[in-house]
Structure 1
Amino acid sequence: MSEQDTADMEHGHETTHRTGASHPTGTGPGEPLAPIPELVIISGMSGAGRSTAAKCLEDLGWFVVDNLPPALIPTMVDLGARSQGNVARIAVVVDVRGRQFFDNLRESLADLATRNVKRRVIFLEASDDALVRRFESVRRPHPLQGSGRIVDGIAAERDLLRELRGDADLVIDTSSLNVHELRAKLDAQFAGEEEPELRATVMSFGFKYGLPVDADLVVDCRFLPNPHWVPELRPFTGLNDEVATYVFNQPGAKEFLDRYAELLHIIAAGYRREGKRYVTIAVGCTGGKHRSVAMSERLAARLAADGVETVTVHRDMGRE
């Protein structure tokens, strides 16, 4: 969402006040009050992992807005309240580039406090040495260093953020954390007692058309006899019952499905532990029409039964 889009939505906005809480327009006398979304503000040192934190919360179902001007945070909360519960949790990423920016953030936080908005501030920090290494590794200047050195920009940012750090609800030092460890810390804080969700795409494809570039795992079904060479099955696809029956009546087909489903159960558990939320499983045969389609459908059903949210895509099924 751009700053202009947010400002456009803010135009004409009105609020009513009841018992210290603010509610969006549309709640008249006698109507139920709109629920106020939960709010998390992600801030901290540049290079300390704000983007990773934002992606983690997004994967946990939060509505994430990056680089929103602090003065528009209350408006974002009001817009979420207007969604009638569809946007129940909002995470806003802010970075402090100047004193006026910080003053606006402080005013917005004070405004939210008077309106009984449940909000938390996550502050990400890291040692000077760690931040310098990260900026040097990507060959980018610190946003506040100007014509000085990276350490000068870090020092200026620490000074600007000192008060916000003191008011933060959660401070995470990422100096010695990798991406997976940071995600695990945030999962522990925000995922509750539920295990983080894993989403899978099972994609059938034909090897003769090339491997899917976004595949995490590749399954090769070309060890099974090809229904293409059975004249009465050739016009159909793996979605056809006769084709699927033919495929899974072949030696090794059912055993392969069972063993690979067991392997995916282990892999899925490991992905959850490591903070991976999306996986694409590419299932291939020669043309992507018969064997891979039938196997993809069965694998997707096994994953769904294992609690994985699954989408099935047949990339090459319609090709001649």
Structure 2
Amino acid sequence: MTQADSNGEVLILTGMSGAGRSTAANALEDQGWYVVDNLPPQMLKPFIELASLPEHGLERVACVVDVRGGQFFDHAREAILDLGSRGGVTVVFLDSSDDVLVRRFEQVRRPHPLQADGTLLNGIHRERELMGPIRERADVVIDSTDLNVHQLTNSVGERFTQEGSPGVALTLLSFGYKYGLPTDADMVWDMRFLANPYWSAELKDRTGLDTEVQDFVWGSERAQGFIDAQLDALRAVLEGYSEENKRFATLAIGCTGGRHRSVSTAEVVGRMLEEWPSVRVSVKHRDLGRE
């Protein structure tokens, strides 16, 4: 057992500049995490090993590492990839779309850390290129594109309140394809093959939160056959995730507008998964409030 395995939980919080790392760090502090911000990459491994020693009594530690630390990939990539393979260490990556990042930097009237003499977009593209391998390795990707400060705070708080709990924390996220695929999805179910309640006069103005819509969506043999097959596959995936120490996952469930079929499926499947051992389920509806 390594030192990082011996005591408590460790988060490495990283991601795109402007995607909400500071907000996420504040949310973790509110949850009782010991947060170290802007840690130089060279200090990452020594600090985590020190903090993980039992005599220090730090049960939950979060380290914020980003391009402000200098030549990020000279030291941080190796350290994050190494630490991320250990038990008890979770890599969290904050991301957002380029246009939202540009808007956020313009609002605070600050240059991008990698902008130099170029434009904001030049800096963002450079950072995205550098951060790509870390995003691919991340255990948790949080897309803050459509989240305000309060929503991001709540999202981080919900994910990591029970960080020490066993098993996999699974988020069921309904969405509408017309608004784009969620970038932080680990798995995607496409529910557009089912009859659409939108074309029913009685159900058009209702949502998948309503029992009548859920009964309509799940009243066919096709729907039942689909869910039986998908749950068998999901069980195998989650068992594999648990064995590989991947403790967080997002299952995105989509339909055309993210109002009826996807919402119904997320709600129904969420209730089913509550009975599964070693699975902690939360249900979110990304596009339910959109027209």
| TM-score between both structures, scaled by the size of structure 1 | 0.47
Q: Residue in 1 aligned with 2:3?
A: 22
2:146 counterpart residue number: 176
Residues 97 and 144 in structure 1, CA contact (< 8 A), matched pair in contact too: no
| Number of aligned residues | 164
Cross-structure match for 2:114: 144
Residue 65 in 1 paired to residue 65 in 2? no
Tell me the residue number matched to 2:57: 86
Distance in 2, Cα, partners of 1:165 & 1:111:
14
* C-alpha spacing 1:70/1:37, structure 2 compared with 1 (3 Å): farther
Aligned residue for 2:19, secondary structure, equals coil
Q: Distance in 2 between matches of 1:98 and 1:89?
A: 23
Query: What letter matches 1:167 in structure 2?
Result: R
1:121 match: secondary structure: strand
Q: TM-score, normalised by structure 2?
A: 0.52
1:44 alignment partner in structure 2: 15
Q: Tell me how far 1:41 sits from its aligned partner.
A: 0.8
The 1-side partners of 2:90 and 2:84 are apart by 11
**TM superposition shift of 1:122:** 1.0
Flag the 1:123–1:99 CA change in 2: closer, same or farther, 3 A: same
Contact 1:37 1:117 in 2 (8 A): no
The corresponding residue for 1:105 is: 76
Determine the structure 2 residue equivalent to 1:162: 132
Residue ranges of structure 1 left out of the alignment (5+ in a row): 1-19, 24-33, 194-320
Consecutive unaligned residues of structure 2, counting only runs of 5 or more, are 164-291
TM-superposed deviation, 1:78: 2.5
The equivalences for 1:1-320 within 5 A come to: 20-22=1-3, 35-82=6-53, 84=55, 86-96=57-67, 100-112=71-83, 116-192=86-162
Question: Percent identical across equivalent pairs?
Answer: 50
In 2: Cα distance, 1:164 partner to 1:111 partner: 11
| CA–CA distance in structure 2, aligned partners of residues 61 and 120 of structure 1 | 17
Q: For 1:144 and 1:161, how far apart are their aligned partners in 2?
A: 12
Radius of gyration: which is bigger?
A: 1
**Residue type matched to 1:22 in 2?**
Q
RMSD of aligned Cα (Å): 2.5
Q: What SS does the aligned partner of 1:151 have?
A: helix
> SS where residue 55 of structure 1 aligns?
helix
- Quickly say closer, same or farther: Cα 1:146–1:125, change in 2 above 3 A: same
Structure having greater relative contact order (Cα 8 Å, sep ≥ 6):
2
In structure 2, relative to structure 1, the CA distance for the partners of 1:97 and 1:51 (3 Å cut) is closer
Q: Distance in 1 between matches of 2:19 and 2:84?
A: 27
The CA distance in 2 between the partners of 1:191 and 1:98, in whole Å, is 28
Contact 1:64 1:90 in 2 (8 A): yes
C-alpha distance after superposition, 1:233-290 (max 9, x if no partner): xxxxxxxxxxxxxxxxxxxxxxxxxxxxxxxxxxxxxxxxxxxxxxxxxxxxxxxxxx
- Determine the C-alpha separation between the residues in 2 that align with 1:60 and 1:97: 25
- Name the SS of the counterpart of 1:148 in structure 2: coil
State the SS of the aligned residue for 1:84: helix
Q: Distance in 2 between matches of 1:95 and 1:113?
A: 16
Name the aligned partner's letter for residue 181 of structure 1. Answer: Q
